[in-house]
Amino acid sequence: MFPRWGGIFDPDGLKLQVDRLTNLSTRPGFWDEREKAEKLMRERAKAEATLNSFRKVESNINELDELLTMAADEADQDMIDEVVAQLPELTAQVRELELKRMLSDDDDHDAVLSINSGAGGTDAEDWAQLLKRMYTRWCDRKGLKYSVMSETATEYGLSSCDLLVKGQYAYGFLRAESGVHRLIRISKFSGRRETSFAGVTVTPNLDDVTEDSIVLKDEELEITVMRSGGAGGQHVNRTESAVRIKHIPTGIAVRCDQERSQHQNKDLAKQRLKGLLFEKERREAEAAFEDAFLSDQGEISFGSQARTYTLQPYTMVKDERTEHKVGNANGVLDGDIDSFIETYLMYAADKKKELEGENKN
């Protein structure tokens, strides 16, 4: 039988929580306070998703255990090989459950992932496009939904791109990607070995929560309206619907032009700004915040990279923070970044414990 994992998950408690919230949702007047009701339904969905994931792993382990027992009794090597072949996938499922256990409620938000080309000219713009492809393929692997909030394309790739990634703990996992990403390769433009950079910033999407600790004061905001970029011809946006908001005390600035309405873009920009300030507070609490990644003045270049992708003269992807390395660079660029995310989250958890220990002393 499957061993009880009380120290990691409490399936019986999760089942009780799902049942309790389900019963609450059927009571008369439940939807009278819509914001409160939606929050409770999100809690129910979260508990149910965690319970279902646990039950799935439990079922898979029991099934493999039965197959292995049968194979041993019958000395069936082919069946044993079949069980062994399924172990890596099962191990990954267990590891993901363990990682979710490490994440907090603050991590359980949708994520806004921003990519900005840095030093490297045309190669950097192409690199930003490759990073977008890497992250969207990772989302596809994880079953997360994503959409483009805003994007500035160039002849050679991307100058900037904001992706909204939706799904349980999307922010908690993707925050491991924040930082400068460096690419070393033979340039398809110059034919020489070139180094290019792109900055990645991940913040929570606070659309569905009230974050009392984040207060935007009108006198601290510098708001600019401008004309949105368009496809050209009859589709050019002739109204000043794009909005840029700068938070004067921190220098953090955001731009939003995804909606046709200036009012909607202003609300979305404020939402985005709150997410950036939320991330700033979190990183400061971890003593790991680097505001260069968030402000207008941030330099995306040498000496500040979080990860290096080397395609020439050898292939290697190395996280400069955790020292984690993967030789299959093409696999990483195709969206296989789970090992980097997992290693970073473990690293961040250890650093947090060290910091808490130092503060106690």
CATH of the domain at 51: 1.20.58.410
CATH label of the domain that carries residue 112: 3.30.70.1660
pLDDT at 168 over 60: yes
State the maximum Cα–Cα separation within the chain, in Å, rounded to a whole number.
77
Q: Which of 102, 134, 155 is the last residue of a domain?
A: 102
Question: What does the CA dihedral 165, 166, 172, 176 come to, rounded to 10 degrees?
Answer: -20
Highest mean pLDDT among 16-20, 171-175, 279-283: 171-175
Mean predicted confidence (pLDDT) in 145-167:
92
Tell me the whole-structure pTM to 2 decimals.
0.70
In a shared domain, residues 56 and 127: no
Taking residues 143-164, report their average pLDDT: 92
Tokens 């946006």 belong to 237
Predicted confidence (pLDDT) at residue 326 exceeds the cutoff of 80:
yes
Burial group, residue 275, by CB count within 10 angstroms (0-12, 13-18, 19+): buried
At 96-141, the pLDDT tens digits run 777 777 777 778 889 999 999 998 999 999 999 999 999 999 999 9
Per the domain annotation, does 211 fall within a domain?
Answer: yes
Question: Does 342 lie in the same domain as 326?
Answer: yes
Judgement on whether residues 334 and 347 belong to the same structural domain of the protein: yes
Q: Quote the pLDDT of residue 356.
A: 63
Question: According to the model, what pLDDT value does residue 239 have?
Answer: 60
Mean pLDDT for 232-256 is: 73
Alpha carbon distance 33, 36 (integer Å) = 6
DSSP assignment of 38-98 equals HHHHHHHHHHHHHHHHHHHHHHHHHHHHHHHHHHHHHT-HHHHHHHHHHHHHHHHHHHHHH
- Across 271-285, 294-308, 332-346, least confident range: 294-308
Question: Residue 160: helix, strand or coil by DSSP?
Answer: strand
Note whether residue 237 is domain-resident: yes
Same domain membership, residue 115 and residue 98? no
Residue 3 within any structural domain of the chain: no
Q: Which of 11-15, 51-55, 169-173, 303-307 has the highest mean pLDDT?
A: 169-173
For residue 201, the enclosing domain spans 105-357
The answer to whether the CB of 54 falls within 8 A of the CB of 11 is yes
Number of domains in the chain: 2
**What pLDDT score was predicted for residue 213?**
61
Q: Do 93 and 197 fall within a single domain?
A: no
Q: What is the mean pLDDT of the chain?
A: 82
Among candidate residues 41, 70, 102, the one where a domain is terminated: 102
Is 261 within a domain?
A: yes
CA–CA gap between residue 231 and residue 233 (Å, rounded): 7
Q: How confident is the model at residue 177 (pLDDT cuts 50, 70, 90)?
A: very high
CA atoms within 13 Å, Cβ hemisphere of 15: 5
Shared domain for 270 and 281, answered yes or no, is yes
Please report, rounded to a whole number, the percentage of residues in the chain having pLDDT higher than 90: 33
In a domain, 1, yes or no: no
Residue 29 φ/ψ, nearest 5 degrees: 85, 5
With residue 245 as reference, give the H or E element that holds it: strand 242-247
CA distance 90 to 64: 10
Query: 126 and 94, same structural domain?
Result: no
144 and 19 belong to one structural domain: no
Confidence check: pLDDT of 339 > 50: yes
**Closest of 8, 357, 349 to residue 172, by C-alpha:** 349
Last residue of a domain, one of 59, 81, 102: 102
One domain for residues 288 and 219: yes
Is residue 132 within 8 A of residue 161, CB to CB? The reply is yes
Co-location of 69 and 178 in the same domain: no
- Identify the DSSP state of 7: T
pLDDT over 50 (residue 295): no
3-class secondary structure, 20: helix
- Does residue 6 fall inside a structural domain? no
pLDDT of residue 76: 82
pLDDT band at residue 231 under the 50/70/90 scheme = very low
Q: Are residues 94 and 160 in the same domain?
A: no
Does the pLDDT at position 73 exceed 80? yes
Q: Given pLDDT bands bounded at 50, 70 and 90, which one contains residue 198?
A: very high
Residue 145 is assigned to a structural domain of this protein:
yes
| Peptide bond between residue 313 and the one before it cis (omega within 30 degrees of 0) | yes
Residue 146 lies in a domain: yes
Q: Do both 211 and 309 map to the same domain?
A: yes
